[in-house]
Amino acid sequence: MGRLDGKVVIITGAGMGMGQAAALLFAKEGAKVAVVDWKAEAGEETVKTIKQAGGEAIFIKADVSKAADAKNMVRTTVDTYGKLDVIYNNAGILARAAFTENITEEEWDRIMAVNLKGIWLGMKYAIPEMLKAGKGSIINAASQCGDRGTRNLGAYCASKGGVLALTRVTAMELAKKNIRVNALNPGIIATPMALTASKEEQEGFAAIIPQGRMGRPEEVAYAALFLASDESSHVTGHTLVVDGGLEVDNKQVIQPSPLR
């Protein structure tokens, strides 16, 4: 028995990184997975890997920032599998590091379109299908940046802070309708994006994490699995942090005194 047996799941941004890790894990746990990505080659590779392992999946090409694409990914999933139990709105992009006054309007708009509007659109079209079924689980990818902020990433942090607020509001709206809405706050995760950084930068990432290392995509995937499964049936409006202690860390400046 898998933890997601019989469930139909949409995962956006599932062509690589955290989304891909979740797609592989969810399929292994018995879910039928709609792999959504704007890069066809990457998404199709995820589907191929799932099928080779004996799982069931389809690929849907979509730009989550476009309403027509978001509507189509939900419709195609339901047409294929007959229902929708879970949507994991994982797709997101990272901004160019810049002081707030140096962020361009184009950069701001694109970050908001993908990271915040994309999650709203995913929920907008998934919720009616979940209402028909009388149940569902929505997982929204936020970030520790949405809580504590990261210098030079103003647009990105603002988009993720918006995700957290939208998640809480939607959770309240749907609580009595048996649809749960939760957020994931990953920290610095060793995705292909992070691993393009120099060795020195990667060492710097690890150095500021209390556990002393970057997280692994599969560690975030297991957190998402809990929220997708019936094991979290009494969890809604929650933000699950997966960051090795980064968010709660306050860098030690006051040295402890020796015991007397």
185: β partners: 241
H/E stretch holding 56 reads strand 56-61
142: closest CA among 77, 227, 73?
A: 227
| Backbone dihedral angles phi then psi of residue 62, each to the nearest 5 degrees | -160, 145
At a CB cut-off of 8 Å and minimum separation 6, what does 240 contact? 182, 183, 184, 185, 223, 226, 227
Residue of 81, 88, 125, 156 with catalytic role: 156
Query: Number of C-alpha atoms within 13 angstroms, CB side, residue 27?
Result: 25
Annotated active-site residue 156? The verdict is: yes
188 with 150: CB under 8 angstroms? no
The alpha carbon of residue 233 and the mean position of all alpha carbons in its chain are separated, in whole angstroms, by 19
Residue positions annotated with a catalytic role? 156
